[in-house]
Structure 1
Amino acid sequence: MAALSIHERKRLRQIGHVLNPVVMIGGQGLTDAVIEETLRALNDHELIKVKIAGEDREARTATIDAIVDATGAQAVQKIGKIVLLYKKAAKQNQHLSNLVRHAHLAN
């Protein structure tokens, strides 16, 4: 997947600012079910926030890297325990895609 340009990252961060986390990774860590749910959410919404529990910064970074590798998404922004993930859908759903629903925010 090609790297995002600075303009694209800025646009995605603007849209991501209003989003709430849709996937939460808890004490069990990155399980197959979490990966599956993340893939479903990325397919539907294209841009999602994921919240990762835990106080260990290195463990959170490793979890972010693992979920990016497992899903093929790109980490647009990482702030604390929240990561903003983007993956272009094969067929964009006009009703669910955060890029379409919140396009007015990225001007």
Structure 2
Amino acid sequence: MLKGKQKKFLRAKAHHLNPIFQVGKGGVNDNMIKQISEALEARELIKISVLQNNDDDRDEVAESLTSGTGAELVQLIGSTIILYKESKENKEIQLPQ
């Protein structure tokens, strides 16, 4: 579980990132969760965009992504979801205590 100070740090790091995944009309599926998990292992911090044609609630999309990938939800703002998961092999981000 991330602390407030850590979330603030990660939000600042994610500010300049572009979304690398888009959740569209098909919603969240197993293949998407697998790809996002691999991206989190490589990058640790990613942005995901929820498109307007998605019928699911943004909160439900964020919940299914965090539970499916085992990642932490850093922020859900507008249609953008920011996820963080500590990498096992490519650890680059040092969180503040």
The 3-state SS of whatever aligns with 1:41 is: helix
Distance in 2 between residues matched to 1:62 and 1:7, nearest whole Å: 25
CA contact (8 A) 1:48 1:84 kept: yes
Distance in 1 between residues matched to 2:75 and 2:49, nearest whole Å: 12
**Counterpart residue identity of residue 50, structure 2:** I
Any unmatched runs of 5+ in structure 2?
none
Between 53-62 and 40-49, the greater mean CA deviation after superposition: 53-62
Residue in 1 aligned with 2:28? 30
Shift of 1:54: 2.9
Distance in 1 between residues matched to 2:74 and 2:16, nearest whole Å: 15
Poorly superposed stretches of 4+, deviation over 4 Å = 55-58
Residue in 2 aligned with 1:84? 82
Equivalenced residue count is 95
Counterparts in 2 of 1:53-72, with a 5 A limit?
53-54=51-52, 59-72=57-70
Which has a greater percent of helix? Answer: 1
Q: CA RMSD of the aligned region, Å?
A: 2.1
- Percent identity of the aligned residues? 31
Residue in 1 aligned with 2:3? 5
The 3-state SS of whatever aligns with 1:39 is: helix
The 3-state SS of whatever aligns with 2:6 is: helix
CA contact (8 A) 1:23 1:50 kept: yes
Any unmatched runs of 5+ in structure 1?
101-107
Q: TM-score, normalization: structure 2?
A: 0.87
CA contact (8 A) 1:52 1:81 kept: yes
CA contact (8 A) 1:23 1:37 kept: no
